[in-house]
Amino acid sequence: MQSVSETSDSPVSNEGKRMGHPMHWITVFIAMMCLLISNGMVITGITAFDSAMLTEFSDWSRGDLKMRGLITLALTGLLAPFVGILIDKIGVKFLVMVGAVVLSACFYAYGNIRDISDLYLIHAAFSIVLLACGLNVAVILVSNWFVKLRGTAIGIAVVGTSLGGAVLAPLFGSWMADDMTWREGMQLAALIPSALFLLALFLLRNRPTDIGLKPFGFSGEAHAPEADLSQHGLTYKEAIKTRSFWSIAFIAMFTFYTIMGFQANLVLHLMDLGFTLQSAAAGLSVLFVPALIGKFLFGLVADKITGKRVLYTNLLLMLTGLIGMLFADKDNVLIAIGLIGFMWGGFYTLLQLNAVNNFGLKASGKLLGTITVLDAFGGGLGIYATGAIYDAYGSYQNAFMIFCVLVALSVILISQVKKHV
- pLDDT, position 226: 54
Cβ(302)–Cβ(3) below 8 Å: yes
- pLDDT, position 14: 41
- pLDDT, position 12: 44
DSSP-derived 3-state class of residue 12:
strand
pLDDT lower than 50: segments of the chain? 1-17
- pLDDT, position 421: 65
What is d(CA 27, CA 82) in angstroms, rounded to the nearest whole number? 24
Cβ(372)–Cβ(159) below 8 Å: no
Q: Is the pTM of this model over 0.85?
A: no
Cβ(355)–Cβ(366) below 8 Å: no
Between CA 184 and CA 191, with CA 186 as vertex, the angle to 5 degrees is 105
Torsion of CA 395, 398, 401, 406, to 10 degrees: -120
